[in-house]
Amino acid sequence: MHSQTTYFRFSLLLSCILFLGVAPFTWIASLFVPGLWNQGIGIYSIFVVALLNLAITTGLVFYYRVSVNSRGIKCTTFWGKLHFVEWSTIRGARFYSGILTSGLKFILISTTKVSQDLWLPLLLNDLSHFEQLVSKYAGTSNPLVNRLHERNTTTYLLNEAKAKIKWAWQAGIISGTWTLILVFLSLAGYGFTGLIDASALIDVCLVFGLSFGIYKKSRVAAVIMLVYFLLSKAWIAIGLKIFPGVISWFFLILFLGGVQGTFTYRKLSKS
């Protein structure tokens, strides 16, 4: 007789990130609501977008459930298709936290049953219990079990913190460089740069300085960079009535990771 299946949903943090991440798409969808944006960005339009975000996020959280039992595990491919595979068919597992996931950590599971890798998020609602069940059902020699155990080692956590710090300061360099290019184009007389002018050089210097601070693993620089980014996007949305684009979402995740990475690095370095 097979044991009961246990389900795991996204953690609260991942659900909040997902809620923010679908905002650009729900904003585009809300453009088709007659009269919603006639007066620009207001309380009513923001409320509608928030409701759409909540509905989509709720649906995704309930659909993308990871389940395990004595036979195997069920999770999705990169394209969101659910697959159930037996423990014995798992032939490899590796970590991934690249640009495709905005730095969020996944384990990519390769099996003999599915040609594509299965993407297991490491931000589940009860990851410790999930790890216990996988170890119990799959056995200690299973590649997935080895990867789950590896993520608890100090070396892994330290390398993960360094990777997040690297993503954050590189995102700052990209942001500052792009603003600098717009400043040069504005000074050259190109009008499509909008409100960018020579005064934006102050912003460029600040972003470059904070990026260097994050490179040096400064927690203060990482926090200031995140707060400055949020305030600038809030000013653009409320003051200029321009909704931030999809790219802003990627930068937000990377700067959040920079804050987490610097704090984790300092903590592990002391110990």
Tell whether 186 and 213 lie within a shared domain. Answer: yes
Using the 3D structure, point to which of 121, 151, 181 is the last residue of a domain. Answer: 151
Statement: residue 7 has pLDDT above 90: yes
pLDDT-based confidence at residue 177 (cuts at 50, 70, 90): very high
For residues 224 and 96, state if they share a domain: no
Q: Looking at the domain assignment, is residue 70 inside a domain? A: yes
The pLDDT of residue 173: 95
Is 262 a member of any domain?
yes
Classify strands 90-96 and 6-8 as parallel, antiparallel or unpaired: unpaired
Alpha carbons 108 and 182: distance in angstroms, whole number: 39
User: Quick check: pTM over 0.75?
Assistant: no
CA gap 172, 211 in Å, rounded: 5
Amino acid at 229: F
Greatest mean pLDDT among 69-73, 198-202, 245-249 lies in 69-73
Give yes or no: residues 12 and 133 share one domain.
yes
Domain boundary among 106, 125, 151: 151
Q: Which amino acid is at 262?
A: T
For 172-229, what is the HEC assignment? HHHHHHHHHHHHHHHHCCCHHHCCCCCCHHHHHHHHHHHHHHHHCCCHHHHHHHHHHH
- What pLDDT is recorded for position 2? 55
Number of compact structural domains in the chain: 2
- Residue 191 in domain: yes
Same-domain check for residues 60 and 89: yes
Q: What is the pLDDT of residues 95-126, one digit of tens each?
A: 887 767 766 789 999 999 999 999 999 889 98
Of 151, 182, 205, which residue is a domain's last?
151
Give yes or no: residues 52 and 141 share one domain.
Answer: yes
Does 1 reside within a domain?
Answer: no
- Could you tell me if residue 34 is inside a domain? yes
- Looking at the fold, whether 180 and 48 belong to one and the same domain comes out as no
139 falls within a domain: yes
> Do 71 and 184 belong together in one domain?
no
Own/partner pairs, 243-249, CB within 8 angstroms, 24+ separation: 243/24, 243/27, 243/41, 244/24, 245/24, 246/24, 249/20, 249/21, 249/23, 249/24, 249/102
**Full residue range of the structural domain in which residue 101 is found:** 6-151
* CA–CA separation, 30 and 38 (whole Å): 12
Residue at 234 is within a domain: yes
How does pLDDT run across 29-67, given as a tens digit for each residue? 777 766 655 555 556 667 777 888 889 899 989 999 999
Q: Does 120 share its domain with 31? A: yes
pLDDT at 70: 93
Specify whether 125 is located in the same domain as 161.
no
Give 75's DSSP letter. Answer: E
Q: In terms of domains, do 91 and 217 share one?
A: no
Residues 128 and 203 in one domain: no
Residues 219 and 195 in one domain: yes
